[in-house]
Amino acid sequence: MNEFLKIFLPAYFIIYFGIAFVAKSVIVARRIGKNPLVLPKDDSAYGLIGFYFKLILILMFVYVLLFAFIPTLHDKFLPIQQLDTLTIKYVGLALLAFALIWTIIAQAHMKNSWRIGIDTETQTELITTGLFQFSRNPIFFGMIISLAGLFLTTPNAMTAFFLILGYVLIQIQIRLEEEFLTTQHGQKYIEYKEKVRRLI
């Protein structure tokens, strides 16, 4: 299984971020005539969240590359032996597959409202259909599932750190976006919040 994971994990995250973020951003940018990447580069709390988001994504990719090309380093990341079973690895693979499909579908449902960050300059449509009728943040939910999948396929202190920090950053980002969407869409968003759960 580990030989398979050495190939699968780097390929998976290249595909996941390539399709789910890079390709989607290019498509939306062409449609709306502006860059959908609107994370601030200042030292505000919001800018700090964006910085740590980017940092954890870079560290994750470095991790899967090290796992693939220098497998002996895996023991240095404090593996959790109790979870290092074939069954749990299969569960992790299933979660990764689900996360990829779920995220792609959610982004398709988001249409031109897709942004990486909070766009304070453009009035975007409030999406409440498709997967958004089951989750107010299906893309973030998919990201959390992918982090859980990575942890279960290679359970150790490093992937546990990615999962915990990623989850915390996502929860903070969600609340920042909720505050903004309440301001932008008012009662319509408040009613949507009352009907649909934050994640699932």
120: domain CATH number?
Answer: 1.20.120.1630
Domain with 56, as residue range(s), is: 2-195
Q: Which residue has the tokens 């107010």?
A: 136
Residue 38 resides in a domain: yes
Q: What is the CA radius of gyration of the chain?
A: 18
Residue 70 resides in a domain: yes
Residue 97 resides in a domain: yes
Residue 200 resides in a domain: no
For residues 163 and 147, the answer to whether their CB atoms sit within 8 Å is yes
Residue 75 resides in a domain: yes
For residues 176 and 46, the answer to whether their CB atoms sit within 8 Å is yes
pLDDT of the chain, 200 residues: tens digit per residue: 888 999 999 999 999 989 888 888 898 889 888 888 888 777 777 888 888 988 999 999 999 999 999 878 778 899 999 999 999 999 999 999 999 999 999 999 998 888 888 888 888 899 999 999 999 999 999 999 999 999 999 999 999 999 999 999 999 999 999 999 999 999 999 999 999 999 98
Number of domains in the chain: 1
